[in-house]
Chains A and B, each alone.
Chain A
């Protein structure tokens, strides 16, 4: 069953001096129970794609258009406010990068989780509090009752991220969006949080969308990878294929530039230039100015995203 079905999504932000196109024709399908990594650098459109799927962007100023945008079979693009509230939570929930700003500093952790539970389920305050403590225990927080009464500033980043995962799980979503959930955390805490997310995904049978810039996080957690650049999908493939045989020149360059691949102090393979400016993107393929194999065709016309096999697809003239 397809849980998330996006076809030809565009998201734009009108500015006083033009339009910033953050997402430019993205298509993506995620089945129940599947785990998908969306990899990209800042400005690639990976977060905006997820925010648009949940209609979490303020409209206006943002403008969302798509041939299809469905979550759990519900047309998110045309759904009313009440319908959307049900989708966010019961169908999909989101974990953000910075747990410190995602929690309200003036309310206790318990208050915020109870509020979320009661927004989606008809439970009394005391029943919801019991449920909140159970959720905190579920994300392996010791002494959940003490944590319920504490405030965000009293917890470490790792603890807060666990609490946010607990809050996301409170409405029993079918699909969890995790947007850079470990970027702000230490490497040991990151490993623990990734392990927790994987474990919960398997136990609860949720689909997972892991948004990250870190190929290591992808290598650790997901089954399928979507590589984004300049607001477009460059390549998608099963995770092992992406690491063993990346096809798109951008994916290849990203893999080659990963530090720590071989022992010893050494220069790395670098990708010259900088990511495209979304307000003034290059013509044609967004990667062509930095691509080693680009030609005039690549600069003139953006390649279509096309299937290369049953499981792989890419947008590159060189692979057509």
Chain B
């Protein structure tokens, strides 16, 4: 079966303006470097890495919200990389996004029913009454009863706002959902609710989710597969359990080692690697300095090595 989403050799270069500051650079900045990813149907793929690793840029390129400098984006097997605005519109229905900050993602002047119905309106699906009815149904599906339809975003808690953002993203029945840190701004007791909601909706609606996060504990509970980004590249990819039990790349290991313990009994001394140490510890296949390359080291387990 064709995957829900495929990224092939995707890169993004930003030109940094020259200035005289302390850390100023005048070179091109390769935010995403030759990233290839496959999101199979009905799966949740976690994309993890530190801030600046390129994970959000990768997600935005997959949505065509940021234009790639090189590479291809395939949605359900169709190459959408070069499609113009009009030709892209039917594919936009299939790909939706949920952001971290639900407060700034929702128009404060619109009611929740209007917010959730807006994608239907944009795509000209159904009459106004039908759109509202569908929006209210979708709100119910995300755990907000009909009475919420007439409310405004400021009346809601952070968790409820994130439910509205999810309802809006799913009203078009997309095949692909990009969720960019959707639980990072939420309280502990609400985080579990949103994770459960995503799991339920994924199963119920046959969604494929690219879940971008720096919270590895959440990633462990939610995802089928994990891809680890470091300095714009994917350095390791495997099933979630393999990543958590048999990680091979020094960066993946340092990320896992940094997760706070779940019980004070497990406190331990840690060694912190610098970027240079991680680069130096990247597996090498020969003595020479070559280009980093992703190799299949086991079925479904890719690891960056220098060839």
Q: How large is the interface on A (under 10, 10 to 19, 20 to 34, 35 or more residues)?
A: 35 or more
A186–B262 CB distance below 8 A? no
Question: Known contacts A219-B263, A257-B191, A268-B195; is A188 also within 8 Å of B255 by CB?
Answer: yes
Choose from B157, B259, B265, B267 the contact partner of A274 (Cβ within 8 Å): B157
Q: Which B151-192 residues have C-beta < 8 A from chain A?
A: 157-160, 187-192
B240 x A265 contact (CB < 8 A) = yes
Q: Which residues between 154 and 213 of chain A lie within 8 Å of chain B, taking CB atoms?
A: 154, 157, 186-192, 194-195, 213
Taken residue by residue from 278 to 302, chain B's Cβ proximity to chain A (1 for < 8 Å, 0 otherwise) reads as 0000000000000000000000000
From B23, B157, B222, B240, contact of A154 by CB (8 A): B23
CB contact list, B4-37 vs A, under 8 A: 21-23
Asked whether, in the complex, the Cβ of A260 is within 8 Å of the Cβ of B262, the reply is yes
Q: How far is the CA of A229 from the CA of B217 in the complex (A)?
A: 23
Set of chain B residues within 8 Å of A146, measured between Cβ atoms: 22
B86 to chain A, nearest CB (A): 38
B260 sits at the interface (CB 8 A): yes
A73 at the interface (CB under 8 A from B): no
Residues in A with CB closer than 8 Å to B270 are 191, 195
Chain B nearest CB from A106 CB (Å) reads: 15
Tell me whether B21 and A214 are in contact (CB under 8 A): no
A215 at the interface (CB under 8 A from B): yes
For residue B193, CB closer than 8 A to chain A, the reply is yes
Residues of A within 8 A of B79 (CB): none
Q: How far is the CB of A47 from chain B (nearest CB, A)?
A: 14
Do A215 and B188 touch (CB < 8 A)?
yes
* CB-based contact B189/A260 at 8 Å: no
Partner of A187, one of B159, B192, B240, B255: B255
- Whether B195 pairs with A259 at a CB distance below 8 angstroms is yes
Q: A150-B22, A259-B191 are in contact. Are A265 and B159 (CB under 8 A)?
A: no
- The reply to whether A257 and B258 contact each other, CB–CB distance below 8 Å, is no
Question: Would A265 and B44 count as touching, CB distance under 8 A?
Answer: yes
Chain B binding site: helix, strand, loop or mixed by DSSP? helix
Interface residue B216 (Cβ < 8 Å from any Cβ of A): yes
Given A41-B187, A275-B157, A260 and B51 touching (CB < 8 A)?
Answer: no
The answer to whether A259 touches B221, judged by C-beta atoms less than 8 angstroms apart, is yes
CA distance A219 to B267 in the complex (A): 8
Chain B proximity mask over A239-276: 1 for CB below 8 Å, otherwise 0? 11001100000000110011111011111111110110
Given A219-B263, A219-B267; A188-B217 close (CB under 8 Å): no
Q: Is the CB of B217 within 8 A of A42?
A: no
Residues of chain A with a CB closer than 8 A to B267's CB: 219-220
Residue of B nearest to A216 (CB): B260
**Residues of chain A lying within 8 A (CB to CB) of residue B200:** 267
* Interchain CB contact under 8 A, B22 and A154: yes
Interface centre among B221, B223, B240 (most CB of A within 10 A): B221
Judged by a CB distance under 8 angstroms, whether A217 is at the interface is yes
Determine whether the beta carbon of B191 is less than 8 Å from that of A220: no
Are the C-beta atoms of A220 and B260 separated by less than 8 Å? yes
19 CB-based A-B contacts, threshold 8 Å: A41-B189, A41-B190, A186-B214, A190-B260, A195-B272, A216-B217, A216-B262, A217-B260, A219-B262, A219-B267, A259-B218, A264-B241, A265-B199, A266-B199, A266-B221, A268-B192, A268-B221, A272-B193, A274-B159
The 7 tightest CB contacts between A and B, nearest first, are A216-B260, A260-B217, A41-B187, A191-B258, A268-B192, A270-B192, A186-B50
- Name B's A-contacting residues (CB within 8 A): 21-23, 44, 50-51, 157-160, 187-193, 195-196, 199-200, 214-218, 220-224, 240-241, 244-245, 254-255, 257-267, 270, 272
